[in-house]
Amino acid sequence: MQVAKFKIKKNDQVMVISGREKGKTGRVIRVIPENAKILIEKLNIVKRHTKASQKVKQGGIVEKEAPIDISNVMLICERCKGPVRVGKKVLEDGKAVRYCKKCGDTLEK
């Protein structure tokens, strides 16, 4: 099994720090490690036109989250109430956790 090399995980609260959605926050709904991108709930929405097919009887516009570069988002620390730099440390029981470099709090739920 490959060790996750990204500091962002599914269900994390993140803030977008550059691009069209700069300054907005949301929950990570999917991580795509192959191209270092994530999907954030209700952010970076694109509209796609779909044609009627056998599956979908009516064509129309579907709104969908488009991937955002992991490098364009920062994890939010609940205690600091803002985006923070993330470090990694290993606890006494051997478990690796992410922590906030600002307040030292663990960022795992």
Q: Which is nearer to Zn ion, 36 or 86 (CB)?
A: 86
> What six digits make up the tokens of 24?
């907005």
Q: Which is nearer to Zn ion, 28 or 77 (CB)?
A: 77
- Which of 4, 35, 32, 21 is CA-nearest to residue 74? 21
CB of 41 to Zn ion, least distance (A): 22
Residues forming contacts to Zn ion in the complex (CB under 5 A) are 77, 79-80, 100, 102-103, 105
Beta carbons of 36 and 9 less than 8 angstroms apart: no
CB of 79 to Zn ion, least distance (A): 5
Give dist(CA 67, CA 70) in Å, integer: 9
Strand bridging mode 86-90 / 25-32:
unpaired
CB of 104 to Zn ion, least distance (A): 7
CB of 85 to Zn ion, least distance (A): 9
Q: Which is nearer to Zn ion, 60 or 82 (CB)?
A: 82
Q: Which is nearer to Zn ion, 72 or 99 (CB)?
A: 99
- Residue 23 Rama label (left phi>0; alpha psi -120 to 50; beta): left
